Chain A
Amino acid sequence: MAMTALARMAARAPVPVFVATGQGWLASCRNLAASVDVAVVTNIREAAILIVAGEPRDEDRDALRRLHDQMPHPRATAWWGARPFAEAGSAIEVSATDDPGPLLRSAFAALLARVRESEPDWLPDDPPNPWQGEGDHGQGGKGMMGGTPYGRPMAMTADDLRDGLALDSFTFTIGPFYPSLPPGLALELTLQGDVIQSARVVRPPLDPGEDAAGACRSMTVGRMLRLLELDALARRCEAVPVEDRDAVNGLKRWIGASCAMRAIPKGLGRLAGDDARARFTRMVAALGDAEASSIAGPGGRLVDLLPGLEWNEALLVINSFSHRDLVALAPREMEQEEDSEGSAEQREGHGI
C-alpha cells in the first residue's frame, strides 16, 4: 500500500528521460528539453524512459542497444518519429508531429504502477568478454602484462606525452549519445591517467541543417554551462524561447553575471587565433539568432586540439565550437575499425 502511494507521488513528477537524438531531430529535442512533462537527464542510469528521437544512423544502432540495456528497471523506450527495432517488443510509438509529453506521462505512470511491463534487455545476457585468460585465475600472460582477463585485453604501455614515462594507456570510445558531447559525435580516446594522449573521430556530429542553427546554439551553450557546473543556467538556456528577445537578453545578462567565461582557462584550445573562451563568448552573444553562423574557416582538426588536455578541458574545447563548426572540424576518419555495426552478427558479442 505504501509503495502504491509512493508510486503515485513519483508518477506526478516530470518523467526522467534520456534522449538519443537522430539525424534531423536536433530542434525537436531542444523543444522536448523545454517541456514541463519531462526532465531530461544526463545519465542513462537516472532515466525511466529512453526517447529515440528520429531514425538513428545505421552505425549508431548497436550503441543504442548498449544504451538501452544500461537503463535501470522499470524502463520503457519511446520511438518518436522512428521505427522501433524488431527486438523492442511493446514499444511506445509517437508520430513525428505529436508532442510526446502526455504519452510519456501515462507510460511512466503505468510503469510505476506495474501495469506496464519493464522492457527486457535487447542484447544477450552473456559476459561481453568470456573468460579467456590463462592460468588458474585467468591472469594469463607474463607478470602484470599480457593476457586477457575477462576476455578484454590488458592496457599496454605507451609513452606519456608529458615526459615519456611509459605507463598503461586506456583506450575507449565515447558517444554518439554522450550528453556532454554534441549529438552524434563519437570519439575514440586514449588516456594516460587524466590526460588525453590521442583522439580519433569514430562518428561525426549529426548535421544540424540550416533550420536548427538557433536551437543547436542554445543546446551547445547549455552543455557548456553544465560543464561549468551552472546547471540552473543551463536548464534555462535549453528552455528559453529563442524568439523571445527579452528572455534571451535576460539570459545573456545572467550568463555574463555568472562569470562563466572567466571559468574557462585563457588560451585553451586555441585555433585560428581564438581560444575556447573567445568562442564561447561569441556564441553567447549570438544566442537568439536564428541564422546559422558561418564557419569562419578555423581550418583544423578537432582531434589535433585534444592531445595533452585533461578530460574536462577537452570537453570545454569541444563544446566551445558551434555545432556547424564541429561538423567541419570532426569529419569521419578513414581508418574505421567500425565494421558492419547493426548487423545481427555483431550483436551476438555486443562488445560491452
Chain B
Amino acid sequence: MALLGQLASPSSWPTSWPQRAPFLGGGDQTVHAWQRYHVRYYSMTLLFIAFEMEMMFMYPWAVVFVAEGMKAMVEMGMFLAILSVGIVYGWREGIFRWQ
C-alpha cells in the first residue's frame, strides 16, 4: 500500500521541520514528549492475571479430578490459597473500587 501510495503521488514535497510539529491548533509544546507516566490500570491487569491463571489450571484439573480424588482437591486448595493472597492484596490496594 505504501508503494502504491508513492507511485500514485505525482511528485513529492519534502517534509520540512515546521510540518513535523504536532497539531495543537497553533500551540506549541514546552517540554520533550519523552516522559514517564503512571500506568494506573496495572493493578487491574494483575487481578486479571490472577483469575486467568486460576481458570488455566482449573480446566485440566476438572478432567483428572475424579481419577485423582482427594489429592487433586488438596492441590487445588493450595493453588487457590496462593492466588487468594494476590486478590486480597489487590483488595487492600483498592482495585475493586470503580473510579
Contact A175 B27 (CB under 8 A): yes
Contact A172 B28 (CB under 8 A): yes
**Which A40-78 residues have a C-beta within 8 angstroms of B?**
43-45, 60, 62-64, 66-67, 69-70, 72-74
A114 CA to B40 CA, complexed, in Å = 51
Residues of B within 8 Å of A352, CB to CB, are 17-18, 20-21, 28
Residues of A within 8 Å of B29, CB to CB, are 152, 170-173
**Chain A nearest CB: distance from B89 CB in Å?**
18
A14-26 interface bits toward B, Cβ cutoff 8 Å, 1 = contact, 0 = none: 0000001000000
- Tell me the nearest residue of chain A to B8, going by C-beta: A3
- Tell me the nearest residue of chain A to B29, going by C-beta: A172
Contact B31 A178 (CB under 8 A): no
- How extensive is the interface on chain A, given as a class? 35 or more
Contact B34 A154 (CB under 8 A): yes
Contact A167 B38 (CB under 8 A): yes
Determine whether A308 belongs to the interface, using a CB cutoff of 8 Å to chain B: no
- Tell me the nearest residue of chain A to B26, going by C-beta: A63
Chain A interface main SS type: loop
Determine whether B19 belongs to the interface, using a CB cutoff of 8 Å to chain A: yes
Determine whether B59 belongs to the interface, using a CB cutoff of 8 Å to chain A: no
Contact B18 A172 (CB under 8 A): no
* Interchain CB contact (< 8 A) of B32 among A60, A155, A160, A193: A155
Residues of B within 8 Å of A174, CB to CB, are 24-25, 27
Residue with the greatest number of chain B CB neighbours at <10 A, chosen from A124, A167, A173, A351: A173
* Interchain CB contact (< 8 A) of A175 among B25, B35, B38: B25
- Tell me the nearest residue of chain A to B39, going by C-beta: A193
Residue with the greatest number of chain B CB neighbours at <10 A, chosen from A64, A69, A153: A69
Chain B interface main SS type: loop
Residues of B within 8 Å of A152, CB to CB, are 29, 31-32
- Tell me the nearest residue of chain A to B10, going by C-beta: A3
**Chain B nearest CB: distance from A35 CB in Å?**
22
Contact B28 A351 (CB under 8 A): yes
B30-52 interface bits toward A, Cβ cutoff 8 Å, 1 = contact, 0 = none: 11111111101000000000000
Residues of B within 8 Å of A73, CB to CB, are 13
Determine whether A299 belongs to the interface, using a CB cutoff of 8 Å to chain B: no
A155 CA to B33 CA, complexed, in Å = 7
Determine whether A84 belongs to the interface, using a CB cutoff of 8 Å to chain B: no
Residues of A within 8 A of B (CB): 3, 20, 43-45, 60, 62-64, 66-67, 69-70, 72-74, 114, 118, 121-128, 144, 148-150, 152-156, 160, 165, 167-179, 181, 186, 188, 192-193, 350-352
Cross-chain pairs A/B with CB under 8 angstroms, 23 sampled:
A44-B23, A62-B26, A63-B26, A69-B16, A70-B19, A125-B17, A128-B18, A150-B32, A152-B31, A153-B32, A154-B34, A155-B35, A160-B38, A167-B36, A168-B35, A171-B29, A172-B28, A172-B29, A173-B28, A174-B24, A175-B24, A175-B26, A352-B28
Residues of B within 8 A of A (CB): 8, 10, 13, 16-21, 23-38, 40
Known: A60-B26, A152-B31. 11 other contacts (CB 8 A): A45-B23, A69-B16, A150-B32, A154-B35, A160-B38, A170-B33, A170-B35, A171-B30, A175-B26, A188-B30, A352-B21
